[in-house]
Structure formats: structure tokens, C-alpha cells
């Protein structure tokens, strides 16, 4: 117990949502003007081959885990959009790297 307890939670690779969240976050990264469920939910669902309702569940999951963050898009109406947060980028990086059990 050397005090190496980190305050920043690490992504859980054991969640059944994680592979889908990775694909969802990658799709959100590709959107230049930010993500909106109403505007982008159905196209992303088609891209990932899932039901649009599942994209809504992924959006909620990503928001609760702080993997996406709101921002005001550059538009006349100050539209709130979502983008991948720094924590979301870390999550994507962690998914791409082999875990400790895969190296041993």
C-alpha cells in the first residue's frame, strides 16, 4: 500500500458496452461540428449496424462516464453539441492498447 491509489478512474475493459462505446466515440470524433443525437443518431446507428435506440443508450452511457462533453457549436442558435472529452480520448487509447492480462 504505497499510496499509488489514483483518483482518475481507469476505463473498465470488462463492460459489454465498451467495444460499442469505442466505435461510437470514434464516430463522434469524425464529426467536425460536434455530435447531436437528433442529427447524428440514425446515421451513426447505420454505420455501426445497430438500432438507433442503442445509440441513445450509448450516448447516455458516454455522458454519465464523462466520455463526451457539451460545447456550444459555432452557429447562430448557440446549439449545444457533444464532443469526445479528454477522458474519452483516454478511453479510446486504453481500448486500443492490450491490457495487462493480454501481455502476460
Domain boundaries defined on the chain: 18-97
pLDDT at 104: 46
Threshold 0.85, pTM exceeds: no
What angle do helix axes 86-96 and 18-30 make, rounded to 10 degrees? 120
Q: Cell 447531436, residue? A: 36
For domain 18-97, give its CATH number from 3.30.1490.440, 1.10.287.3510, 1.10.10.10, 1.10.540.10: 1.10.10.10
DSSP code string of 13-77: TT-TTHHHHHHHHHHHHH-TT-B-HHHHHHHHHHHHTS-HHHHHHHHHHHHHTTSEEEEE-SSTT
Residue 68: closest CA among 52, 46, 92: 92
Tell me the per-residue pLDDT of 3-18, one tens digit each, with 9 for 90 and over.
Answer: 555 455 555 556 888 9
Q: Assess whether pLDDT exceeds 90 at residue 96.
A: no
Q: What is the Cα–Cα distance from 25 to 22, expressed in whole angstroms? A: 5
Amino acid at each position: 500500500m504505497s499510496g499509488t491509489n489514483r483518483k482518475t478512474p481507469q476505463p473498465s475493459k470488462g463492460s459489454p458496452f465498451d467495444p460499442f462505446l469505442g466505435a461510437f466515440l470514434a464516430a463522434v470524433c469524425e464529426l467536425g461540428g460536434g455530435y447531436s443525437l437528433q442529427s447524428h443518431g440514425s446515421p451513426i446507428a447505420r454505420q455501426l449496424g445497430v438500432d438507433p435506440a442503442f445509440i441513445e443508450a450509448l450516448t447516455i452511457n458516454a455522458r454519465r462516464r464523462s466520455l463526451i462533453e457539451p460545447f456550444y457549436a459555432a452557429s447562430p442558435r448557440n446549439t449545444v453539441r457533444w464532443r469526445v472529452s479528454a477522458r474519452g480520448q483516454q478511453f479510446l487509447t486504453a481500448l486500443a492498447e492490450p491490457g495487462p492480462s493480454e501481455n502476460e
